């Protein structure tokens, strides 16, 4: 998920360059995303490269987080270096067997959300001459990065402002950009929240009380 969120802006910048357009904010986001993407890939590959390194990373990470937790009066973490080694082994096995499905599912999950934005734009009257598919993709990739920054839950406020601003910069009117953004955010956020609340409520109601021990 994070690789896709950080990698798509690079494709968006390339697409804009191909059609002779530019967006400064997106170019900066793509540069930052490329840097972070390279660090994540390198770190992930390095951690999975051998068991001894995974053991060392797990030990130091557990110590660091436990030390930070003590400052907040939290108990030390219960996982340690063997947990990282086990994670490494399970990850390698999972990726080896299921990488095509994982890749396809991740791309499908993200791109279907992009389709919702395109449909929202066209539904409020933003034509392909005002905002092309490439420009819509570029605006969407920037919004995804804003949504990944944990400033507000789900990037509420920041995503709407950023997406609306980029759409207007590409050629949509203020009213159309705001309308399309609100429709897009409603369709991609509210159903998920509703399903989550129903699932959480079902779990609480269906949970059986534990029997108390009799002494």
Q: What is the pLDDT of residue 65?
A: 77
Place of tokens 């406020």: 157
| Spatial contact of 5 and 145, defined as CB atoms under 8 Å apart | yes
Write out the two tokens for 115: 């389709």
Enter the pTM of the model: 0.70
Better-scored residue on pLDDT, 92 or 122? 122
Tens of pLDDT, residue by residue over 154-181, are 677 888 888 898 899 888 999 999 999 9
Count of other CB atoms within 10 angstroms of residue 150 = 8
Tens of pLDDT, residue by residue over 68-116, are 777 777 777 676 666 777 777 888 888 888 989 999 999 999 999 999 9
Q: What is the pLDDT of residue 85?
A: 73
* pLDDT, mean of residues 30-42: 73
H or E element that contains 136: helix 133-148
Mean pLDDT across the chain, nearest whole number?
80
* pLDDT, mean of residues 29-53: 71
Write out the two tokens for 12: 């968006």
Please give the distance of CA 96 from its chain centroid, rounded to a whole number: 23
Q: Which of 161, 134, 135 is nearest to 146 (CA)?
A: 161
215 has a pLDDT exceeding 50: no
Q: pLDDT grade, residue 4 (50/70/90)?
A: confident
Q: What is the pLDDT of residue 42?
A: 74
Distances (CA, A) of 27 to 33, 114, 135, 138: 10, 19, 13, 10
Q: How far apart are CA 15 and CA 215, in angstroms?
A: 71
């Amino acid at each position: 998920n994070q690789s896709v969120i950080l990698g798509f802006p690079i494709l968006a910048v390339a697409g804009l360059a191909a059609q002779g357009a530019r967006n400064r904010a997106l170019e900066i986001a793509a540069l930052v995303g490329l840097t972070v993407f390279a660090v994540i890939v390198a770190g992930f590959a390095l951690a999975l490269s051998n068991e001894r390194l995974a053991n060392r990373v797990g030990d130091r990470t557990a110590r660091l987080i436990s030390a930070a937790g003590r400052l907040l009066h939290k108990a030390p973490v219960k996982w340690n270096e063997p947990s990282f080694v086990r994670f490494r082994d399970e990850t390698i096995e999972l990726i080896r067997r299921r990488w095509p499905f994982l890749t396809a599912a991740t791309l499908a999950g993200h791109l279907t959300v992009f389709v919702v934005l395109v449909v929202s734009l066209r539904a409020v009257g933003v034509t392909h001459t005002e905002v092309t598919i490439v420009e819509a993709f570029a605006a969407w990739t920037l919004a995804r990065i804003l949504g990944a920054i944990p400033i507000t839950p789900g990037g509420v406020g920041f995503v709407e402002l950023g997406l609306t601003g980029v759409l207007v910069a590409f050629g949509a009117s203020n009213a159309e950009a705001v309308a399309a953004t609100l429709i897009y955010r409603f369709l991609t956020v509210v159903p998920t929240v509703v399903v989550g609340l129903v699932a959480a409520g079902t779990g609480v109601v269906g949970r059986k009380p534990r029997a108390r021990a009799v002494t």
